[in-house]
Structure 1
């Protein structure tokens, strides 16, 4: 990879290096179900328009299925290193400077229900994808931000946390450490 100070975009600003990137693709079997549903819709359209061959309508609906799968899989987690330090970006919508992070923990699939249920702080930032089991819990230490922590879906939360370079808190059994604004 190139050095962040050497690579620039068209505006002359330095482009940060990507330290970690993860695309949250939907599972393969969802693509297959989407193709089957598209074929079924094509068959139903044939019932409405019997002059058009069934196979033409079934094939014509497949791009709709592919577009829906691509839209669901558009989420990307990225950790970049630039002149201002490392930042965590989620799907281009949210970013977190790592200077605001105090610690983090990987939440296994078996503890996801508890982390997303009764233990969830309503002020937390949640980026959850149902087809991704594990989570990364990133605790913030920023007096100006009322958000106590970020809870982010990741297939490889340990790699994500290693890329963030923040201290990883130990996990008690299979349950994430509960954090609240009062702590």
Structure 2
């Protein structure tokens, strides 16, 4: 049986990050232009494109299906998660910083401010909760509630 996707999000880099990465262009030009103009331009272009490619390829996916939560390479059955809570602004900063439990499992991206905190209800799991960056924390929390509700009805 295929599971139905209730929520899907790719944590793409923010646009400002591509401008920040562009700083490799003048840096590589500064190093290579004194050696050879063509080599400097080629190296600058290759380095920038390589950095952009890495940013795009390394962007994790967050997905909620009717049976599991997938965050990056980690997955957990929805039956083992508690009531997710959405955090934005100062509340999200508190969750990522001073209020963070060192045992928590993290999927955090600096360019995505909101987070969702998902308690883990598996006694064998050393992580008390997952903290996941997302642009739509309320939507993920709602999708997890829906998945748990449908899982309880079928059980």
Please tell me the TM-score bracket, short chain as reference. Answer: 0.7 to 0.9
Counterpart check, 1:108 vs 2:88: yes
The alignment yields a C-alpha RMSD, in angstroms, of 2.3
Asked if structure 2 preserves the Cα contact closer than 8 Å seen for 1:42 and 1:60, the reply is: no
Q: What does 1:77-88 correspond to in 2, within 5 Å?
A: 77-81=62-66, 86-88=67-69
Q: TM-score, normalised by structure 1?
A: 0.69
Structure 1 residue aligned with 2:18, among 8, 23, 31?
31
CA distance in 1 between partners of 2:47 and 2:90 (Å): 37
Asked if structure 2 preserves the Cα contact closer than 8 Å seen for 1:39 and 1:59, the reply is: no
Asked if structure 2 preserves the Cα contact closer than 8 Å seen for 1:43 and 1:58, the reply is: no
Q: Which has the higher contact order (CA 8 A, sep 6+)?
A: 2
Relative to structure 1, is the Cα distance of residues 61 and 19 closer, same or farther in structure 2, using a 3 angstrom cutoff? same
Gapped runs of 5+ residues in structure 2?
Answer: 147-155
Relative to structure 1, is the Cα distance of residues 60 and 116 closer, same or farther in structure 2, using a 3 angstrom cutoff? closer
CA distance in 2 between partners of 1:51 and 1:153 (Å): 42
Q: How far did 1:39 drift?
A: 4.5
Q: How far did 1:43 drift?
A: 4.6
Gapped runs of 5+ residues in structure 1?
Answer: 6-14, 167-183
Larger Cα-atom Rg = 1
Corresponding residue pairs, total: 147
Asked if structure 1 preserves the Cα contact closer than 8 Å seen for 2:84 and 2:116, the reply is: yes
Structure 2 residue aligned with 1:76, among 54, 57, 61?
61
Q: How far did 1:117 drift?
A: 2.7
Q: How far did 1:98 drift?
A: 0.8
* Bigger Cα displacement from structure 2, 139-148 vs 26-35: 139-148
**Aligned residue in 2 for 1:50:** 36
Q: How far did 1:124 drift?
A: 1.6
Asked if structure 2 preserves the Cα contact closer than 8 Å seen for 1:138 and 1:150, the reply is: yes
CA distance in 2 between partners of 1:95 and 1:126 (Å): 12
Q: How far did 1:129 drift?
A: 1.2
